[in-house]
Amino acid sequence: MLYLSFLLPLALVNAIDTTSSSASSSSADVSSASSDASSSSPSPTVDVQDLQQQLEGTWSSKSNQVFTGPGFFDPIDELLIEPSLPGISYSFTSDGFWEQATYQVSGNPKNPKCPAAALVWQHGKYDILDNGTMILTPFKEDGRMLVSDPCTDNGTSTYMRYNSSITFQAVTVSLDDYHGMYKLQIYQFDGSPMQPLYLAYRPPMMLPTQAINSASSSNSTSKRSLRDLVKRNLQNKYKTNASKTSSFVDSNIFWYISTGMLCLGSIIFLLS
């Protein structure tokens, strides 16, 4: 009897070990099968047309002061207009066009009174891939950038051409219950989220969705009447202190020479 009582606990221990090992092996098989199934499952695809419909409109950051369109960039007078507060704005159409307007201010830790600012405007066409990646391709000749650094530019900002393609890893549109507005969440090329943008206008507020600085558009612009050009220049006179990047020949010289020759010719005509 003593021998049987000693063997009984050993039998129970062996049975428990056998059961636990079989259970662990079966769970390992299940986990490996599930991992194999997940690895073999295809990546999710995006309904491109549905996403394009959701993206249609003008989206602006929380400051609600920066918007695309003629209030930010005047292509006739080559003028970027500084908003009252920094921010970001994107506009999209449902047929594949986009526009960008950004106003960013970066502080100067050495001199807090000298923050640097940059205004960027560009537009072009966009494509959405099946995996949700969004590629924004600009019209190369149209983009403009205005850079201001009050401690180094002597109070005169620098105006230049700008051209930069943009890749978003993903974009999502949802209803923000707190603000009661549609929210656009953009994930940059590395997956990091941008600050959310909120729907401001639908249909979008944009400049023409075509290349502005093409040969045809420049010819039509040159045919504008002198009255329209003078009126626009007077309206935009005090909206910016920017100066274009210097060219090889100053166009003002030709203007002064032409005006002087015209006056001289008029005097000779009257005296003859």
250 has a pLDDT exceeding 80:
no
Pairwise CA distance, residues 174 & 93, whole Å: 18
Is residue 102 a contact partner of residue 117, using CB atoms and an 8 Å limit? no
Helix (H, G, I), strand (E, B) or coil at 226: helix
Pairwise CA distance, residues 194 & 104, whole Å: 14
6 has a pLDDT exceeding 60:
no
Pairwise CA distance, residues 161 & 143, whole Å: 6
Segment 192-247, tens digit of pLDDT: 999 999 999 999 999 999 999 864 444 444 445 555 655 555 555 455 444 444 44
Q: Which residue has the higher pLDDT, 268 or 93?
A: 93
Pairwise CA distance, residues 262 & 226, whole Å: 17
Segment 159-205, tens digit of pLDDT: 999 999 999 999 999 999 998 999 999 999 999 999 999 999 999 99
Length of the chain: 272
Whether pTM exceeds 0.85: no
Q: Which residue has the higher pLDDT, 112 or 138?
A: 138
Please report which confidence band the pLDDT of residue 10 belongs to, taking 50, 70 and 90 as the band edges: very low
Residue position matching structure tokens 């019209």: 139
Lowest mean pLDDT among 14-23, 119-128, 199-208, 256-265: 14-23
Taking residue 66's Cβ as centre, other Cβ atoms within 10 Å add up to 23
Please report which confidence band the pLDDT of residue 133 belongs to, taking 50, 70 and 90 as the band edges: very high
Most confident of 85-89, 219-223, 250-254: 85-89
Please report which confidence band the pLDDT of residue 113 belongs to, taking 50, 70 and 90 as the band edges: confident
Lowest mean pLDDT among 6-10, 84-88, 217-221: 6-10
Pairwise CA distance, residues 24 & 153, whole Å: 71
Give domain limits for the chain: 1-41, 48-218
Pairwise CA distance, residues 21 & 42, whole Å: 34
List Cβ neighbours of 115 (8 Å cut-off, separation of 6 or more).
Answer: 105, 106, 107, 108, 150
